Amino acid sequence: MPPVIEFTAPPLPHYIISGFSPIPAGGKHPSRKNIGAFDLLVVTRGCLYVGEEDRRYEITEGHALILRPDSYHYSYAECQEECLHYWLHFQILGDWRVIEDEEYYLHHGRYSEGEVQGYISPPPFETTPYTVALPQFTKLAQPKKLAEVIDELNEMSRHIHRAGVRLKQQALFQEVIILLSASLGSTAPSPQSACAERAASYLREHYREPFSAQKLGESINFHPVYIARCMQKVFGCSPSAYLLRLRIDQAKLLLIRTDLPVERIAEEVGFNQAAYFTASFTRMEGLSPRKYRQRFAWNKN
C-alpha cells in the first residue's frame, strides 16, 4: 500500500507553480531525481505509469499521486492513449515525514492510556502546531472540485503581476491540501472504528450523566466488553477514561469563562464529589482547578 505524507503546521505548504498537460499515446512522464519540491499529479483522462524508487503507480482518471522532493521518480511505461493531467509543484517549509499507511491508521487519532491519565493540555489561547496527513497515492474524493481549484490557480498565474494575486494563490492552494487530506479519510471505517466513534459520540453528548457501561452498550447496540476493546484500540483508553478526559476539558472551559465556584463546576460536568473532581483535575493538568483559574482566566478588571 502507498505511504502517507504527514507534516506539521504552521507553517502551511507553499504553492509554487502548476499547469495542465496532455501526453500523447506513446509519450511518458519525465524522469527526475531530487527536484527539491513536491510534484502533485492529477489525471483526468488516460493513465500515467510513474514509479518512485521501488514503488510503481498507475495513475488513472480521478486519481492523484504526490512525488517526493527527495526521491527518484521515473516513467516505467508509455501511455497507451492520450493522457490529460494536472501537475502542481509545492513545498512544505516545516517538518514532514513519510509513514506507511498501516502505521498511520494504527496511530491516527489515538493517545495511550498513560497520556489520558497524565495528559497536560496546552494553556488556553495559545497557538499550538498540528499535523496534516496527505495520501501519497489516492482515488480522489472530489476529483472535479480539485480540477476546478487547480484551473483557478493556473488562471491566477496569468495575472501574477497584479497586487494581491500571490497571496490569493497561497490561500486557494490550501483548498488543494484540504481536498487531498479529505481523500485520505474517504475509505469506509473499520467496524472497530465505527463502534468506538459511536461510543465516543454518545459520551460527548451525555458526559454530565453518571457513567454506566451497560447503558452505553444498550444505547449504541454493542456489548460493553466489545465497546471497551474497540475504544482501547482506536483511542488508546477505556470508555471511563475517555469520559474523564471529556469532563476535565469541559471543566477547564467553565473555569476560564465563568465565575462559578469549583464545587458547582464539578457538578456541572458530571462529578458527584468535588473532592474527586479536584483530585482528578490536579492529576491530569498538573495544578488544582483554583490555580488553573488564577493562571488562565481573563483579567476582568
| Domain CATH number, residue 219 | 1.10.10.60
204 & 84 share domain:
no
Give CA–CA dist 28/74, Å, rounded.
9
pLDDT in tens, 239-281: 999 999 999 999 998 998 899 999 999 999 999 999 999 999 9
Segments in the chain below pLDDT 70 = 1, 101-127, 185-189, 297-301
131 & 209 share domain:
no
Query: Which of the listed residues 184, 207, 227 is the one where a domain comes to its end?
Result: 184
225 & 142 share domain:
no
Query: Which of the listed residues 165, 184, 203 is the one where a domain comes to its end?
Result: 184
Q: For the chain, how many structural domains are there in total?
A: 2
154 & 94 share domain:
yes
136 & 57 share domain:
yes
69 & 20 share domain:
yes
Domain that holds residue 154: 4-184
154 & 56 share domain:
yes
Query: Which of the listed residues 114, 149, 184 is the one where a domain comes to its end?
Result: 184
pLDDT computed for residue 109 by the predictor: 46
152 & 28 share domain:
yes
Give long-range contacts, CB 8 A cutoff, 24+ apart: 256-265. Answer: 256/124, 256/293, 256/296, 256/297, 256/298, 262/289, 262/290, 265/289
